[in-house]
Amino acid sequence: MLQRIIDNPNKSTLLFLTLLVVAIFLVYYPSLFVPFYLDDRESIVTNVSVHSPTLDLLINGPDRMRIIGYFTLWLNYQIGGLEPFGYHFANILFHAINSLLVYFLANQLIRHFCVGANSSVELREQSTRNSLWALAIAAIWALHPLNSQAVTYVVQRLASIVTIFYLLTIIFYIQARKQTNLVKIGAYVLLIIGCLVAGLHAKQNIVGVILFLLVWELLTASFRVKKLLWWLIAGCTFAVLVIAPFIPWFWQALDTFTRDPSADTRPEYFYTQMVVLWDYVLRFIYPFSLQLNIDADLKKTMEPVVGLALLAHVMVLAIGYKYRKTLPLLFIGILLFYTGHAVESFIIPIKDLAFEHRAYISNIGLMIALVAIVRYWFEKSPTRSVQWLVAGFSVVLVIASITTFKRNILWQDPLTFYANEALLSPEHPRANASYGNELMKLQRFAEAEVYIKKGVDFNIAQGKITASSLIAFMNVLYQQEKYQQASHIVMLGLRHIKRPHDRSNLLSSLAYGYIKMGYCDFARGLLNTALKLNPNNKDAKANLAFCNGV
């Protein structure tokens, strides 16, 4: 079998890649019938920029920073409206493109670092083996269930799209490194710049690839190139330190630009992410309890578990550095893993502490590192059985495919999906609230109240009270005519929530309760206040019109 592949390498590679694309569409077929979830509603269902027949609102609106990703959503809407099928088909297509790019990147990396053959026959055999190793990396990554969230959850296509530019940047960089002609080098540099610019307008974590390439060069380039890079880094650092005191707003602007306003402090976020990164690794190794809402406890100090996690990261990086010459693929995989997480899982605080789709790029690094170890172990001894190796990879692929397929089936039914989320994350506010909201749709109000209340309680325990969670709690109480209890919820919210828009929504919801109790005069005052805070509050306008008509 292997000899046949060696004799016809091009045909074999084309066949394997075609089968891979087919396998991707098969395991993700159930996702074509998955409805919109959570952020899909704000980004797609109610997003006027996406619904506009022209691109003007998209270009000038709040989504312009990620215009490439939202442009694809706009195209989907123009073609099929709000039918989820087309959006999911596009997501699968983006994932298939990424899987092919992973193959080409892995193949280039292996060829870049492999030892030269002694004859044309050996060269052909080695080239075929390299392609098979690259295919193993691409296939397992493509079908791995941990990547499914970035594919099945429509709005997370931004992670898939930025990965296209991320991978292309590295591929063009490797090609540029091989060139001796300045014109060709310049052409590849322009392609790299184009990918970086496009990636920045898909998702900002593209900057991780710059760090990846910089570290690669600092550790593997010639002494002359290293010296030049260090001088550039030192010069840029010096320039920032010299200029910053003369522009007082610089550090404040930098801080504002590199954080989510509602997120935790940088040290707390860093401590937490040291543990979360190992959670991603464990999910990659054992992907059978995947979830949308991950229970990640905020770590406020350098407690023992944080210290151990940090020490383990340092050890992994030290191992990669030590073996960067004897096992360069291991080093590259480790480097890609950490730089892939550099934006969302380091010192740039984001409100949500953990999401599986954040590991989408970094999982490529994990696969490269793992295959590098297996490849080194296998090729170290010529007596290793190829059949056993192929059988092992086949078993992994089958298990990954079945798990991903079942995961996509689970996404098809929101009630079952959120019930599973609440089961896996019993202390996660959004997991409980989401399940409660689904129960409300089925008019199972008593059950819904239990879960929505749990969501509010967990938010309060974490010091995070949101207007949306309180309003959901009020609505389920209203459905059971518990108006007085609902009014106490609003009083709690108004003491802690300061944003005018949110306070307006809370007051409007409170007024609705008083209208139902027959106190329209009192409700009218609440609604007028709500409209002062937010003149565009549609619910407040509708309730006020009802009161005025009574």
Q: Kindly give, in sequence order, each residue whose CB lies less than 8 Å from that of residue 508, ignoring residues fewer than 6 positions away.
A: 526, 527, 530, 537, 539, 540, 543
Largest Cα separation within the chain, whole Å, is 93
pLDDT, residue 384, reads 64
Share of the chain above pLDDT 90, in %: 42
Residue 408: pLDDT band by 50, 70, 90 thresholds?
very high
Give the residue among 319, 516, 353 at the shortest CA–CA distance from 425. Answer: 353
pLDDT, residue 119, reads 46
Asked whether 5 and 115 are in contact (CB, 8 A), the reply is no
**CA pair distance 509, 530, nearest whole angstrom:** 10
Query: How confident is the model over 81-123, as pLDDT tens digits?
Result: 999 999 999 999 999 999 999 999 999 998 877 655 444 555 6
Q: In 10 A of CB 19, how many CB atoms?
A: 12
Range with the largest mean pLDDT of 92-106, 182-196, 472-486: 92-106
**CA pair distance 207, 376, nearest whole angstrom:** 31
pLDDT, residue 117, reads 47
pLDDT, residue 259, reads 76
pLDDT, residue 529, reads 87
Query: How confident is the model over 422-463, as pLDDT tens digits?
Result: 998 888 888 898 999 999 989 999 999 899 989 888 888 777
More confident residue, 262 or 342: 342
Residue range 404-412: mean pLDDT, rounded: 95
Asked whether 153 and 163 are in contact (CB, 8 A), the reply is no
pLDDT, residue 383, reads 64
Residue range 202-231: mean pLDDT, rounded: 83
Q: Name the token pair of 225.
A: 């190139």
What is the chain's Cα-based Rg? 27
SS3 117: coil
Asked whether 24 and 143 are in contact (CB, 8 A), the reply is yes
415-549 placed in CATH 3.30.160.70: no
pTM of whole model > 0.75? Answer: yes
CA dihedral defined by 160, 166, 168, 171, rounded to 10 degrees? -130
**CA pair distance 54, 175, nearest whole angstrom:** 38
Residue range 2-10: mean pLDDT, rounded: 55
Exposure of 53 by Cβ count < 10 A (0-12 exposed, 13-18 middle, 19+ buried)? exposed
**CA pair distance 342, 353, nearest whole angstrom:** 14
User: Is 80 exceeded by the pLDDT of residue 128?
Assistant: no
Amino acid in the structure at residue 518: G
Query: How confident is the model over 412-429, as pLDDT tens digits?
Result: 999 999 999 999 888 888
- Range with the poorest average pLDDT among 207-211, 250-254, 325-329, 518-522: 250-254
CATH 1.25.40.10 residue spans of the chain: 415-549
Q: Name the token pair of 458.
A: 């967990």
DSSP state of 37: -
The whole-angstrom distance between residue 451's C-alpha and the CA centroid of its chain comes to 26
pLDDT, residue 500, reads 86
Residue range 12-32: mean pLDDT, rounded: 92
DSSP state of 535: T
- Range with the poorest average pLDDT among 131-135, 263-267, 284-288, 527-531: 263-267
Query: How confident is the model over 289-346, as pLDDT tens digits?
Result: 888 888 888 888 889 999 999 999 999 999 999 988 888 899 999 999 999 999 888 8
User: Is 80 exceeded by the pLDDT of residue 59?
Assistant: yes
Q: What is the rounded average pLDDT for all residues in the chain?
A: 86
Asked whether 27 and 408 are in contact (CB, 8 A), the reply is yes
DSSP state of 327: S
* CA 8-12-18 angle, 5° bins: 155
The whole-angstrom distance between residue 102's C-alpha and the CA centroid of its chain comes to 17
User: Is 80 exceeded by the pLDDT of residue 127?
Assistant: no
* CA 384-320-294 angle, 5° bins: 95
